[in-house]
Amino acid sequence: MNDPTNETSASLDFIREAVKDDLAEGKFDHVQTRFPPEPNAYLHIGHAKAIWIDYGIAQDFGGLFNLRFDDTNPAKEEQEFVDAIIEDVKWLGADFDDRLFFGSDYFEQMYEWAVDLIKKGKAYVCDLSPEEVSKNRGTLTEPGIDSPYRNRSVEENLDLFQRMRAGEFADGSRTLRAKIDMASPNMNLRDPVMYRILHQDHHRQGDKWCIYPMYDWAHGLEDSIEGVTHSLCSLEYEIHRPLYDWFLDQLGIYHPRQIEFARLNLTYTVMSKRRFIELVNGGYVKGYDDPRLPTLAGLRRRGYTPEAIKEFCRRIGVAKTDSIVDYAVLEDCVREDLNKRAQRVMAVMNPLKVTLINYPEDQNEELNVINNPEDPDAGTRKVPFSRELYIEQDDFREEPPPKYFRLAPGREVRLRNAYFIKCVDVVKNDDGEVVEIKCMYDPETRGGDAPDGRKVKATIHWVSAKHAITAEARLFDHLFMKPDPDDVEEGKDYFSNLNPDSLQVSTCYVEPSVMEAQPGTRYQFERQGYFCVDTDSTAEKLVFNRTVTLRDSWAKIEKAMNKARK
């Protein structure tokens, strides 16, 4: 077993401290955790935090990690989500080995335990409708009202429960409820429902069952069956913990320990399955893997790496109270990771033609260029160079403002990895717009400085016009304009804060080294940002998603706008 206690006590979060203490006190002799998603949606970045807490703690203490689907609601669950979740967990690097479990495989054991509680007088069949159950539940200041069916005999309850399972009753006509305390200050202990009737096929069990366990009943039983030692949940389940404990104690079965942690909240986005559905169904985004969504499928498609997400989870840590994390923290993590691993290429987004008038018209050459200065093992590539080039429009000003050091009439700059060039003429169209600049190149400056020692103040990127690959660039920004999407004017909803510029599509020109790139390949477009080849790419056209800019331009623009408003 690994020993995280070698670290100083102050370096351990409160969950690891609790696990360490449990082992020291002999409450458990090993550690086993689980990630228990319901297969009714795609996972998002908040789930990644939960996975890395569960898996990370198992790793730190030399324990085991389970992936268990809490598939107890056939009305919302689909095999599509099961497959997607398995893919996401594997992609993150959380190794569950052969410990893939399904709560539905335990339905028979759960049923037998429910019968055991009935026999102990701790559960009863209730004929109240869901609306009546809710009405009789009481409030935080008023006790609930006992169900008129609360004191049915054990024999009658056993008979009715068996008939519920046999399918004799209509959906919602009866439930099995725990008999606890209708006056409890904890509303979850006011005779909670354990089973409901639902005549609907299950994605895994087919039509075998027409009664299905509620989450609070199933959760602890699943943990107990699997031998989980520490059941780690988000903070909203803290108030459910007494019920988790009550069921296990009444049954007298193996009892894991539940510990809660704060869930993840991010600025400029939403973290809700319901809202994901609204955004997709409303056409505001293009599917659950839209790169603007914080789903793991969306982040993966955008170009995020598992390593960047793991580092993000490490940085934000494990807390007991909810907080909001700035999206910039996540972006910084992927920048740092891609800076180390992404191959550099040159790409031009807004092209301006450059003609080197003293370069031979029929000449082509190949320049040897380093793939990644951060990775000596990344090697080099050949980049073609010719008489006609594209540069960025922003890299030329006919009348340069102060402190603008890039190309201008009479000014010399360096082409990255190539030559010094000097602007000698400007070509305009009938509207007076610059459409081409003519330059002289210095053949003595290939790949380095000028032999006579003269200096230039700017280096710009370029692509050879006749060799460049024409591609589509999708430039993503925050999905919402405000850090809190719910910060709205009266009478409006969060849709009013959607960013109309969260996706901009343009044509770009990229050096030909990317020609055979496959979906998922990541690059740094020099001076532009990090990009990933999208799954929409075809043999005829590559599509690149911008993962993140090189700098936090959004924050700079927002700061300038706020200053202007004042």
Q: Tell me the catalytic residues.
A: 38, 263, 273
Torsion of CA 405, 410, 412, 418, to 10 degrees: 130
User: Can you name the residues that pair with 69 across neighbouring β-strands?
Assistant: 102
* Separation between Cα atoms, residue 203 and residue 206, nearest integer Å: 6
Place of tokens 């505001």: 284
**Residue 196 host element (H or E):** strand 193-197
> Which tokens in the block code for residue 394?
């922003």
Residue 20's identity, in one-letter code, is: K
Q: Is 140 exposed, middle or buried (0-12, 13-18, 19+ CB in 10 A)?
A: exposed
Q: Backbone dihedral region of 283: left (phi > 0), alpha (psi from -120 to 50 degrees) or beta?
A: left
**Residue 211 host element (H or E):** strand 211-213
Question: CA 200, 201, 204: angle at the middle one, nearest 5?
Answer: 145
Q: Where are the beta strands (DSSP E) in 284-429?
A: 323-325, 343-345, 347-348, 351-356, 365-370, 380-385, 388-392, 412-415, 420-428
| 544 φ/ψ angles, rounded to the nearest 5 degrees | -115, 130
> Which tokens in the block code for residue 248?
């296990």
Place of tokens 């959906």: 171
Q: Is 492 exposed, middle or buried (0-12, 13-18, 19+ CB in 10 A)?
A: exposed
| 445 φ/ψ angles, rounded to the nearest 5 degrees | -110, 15
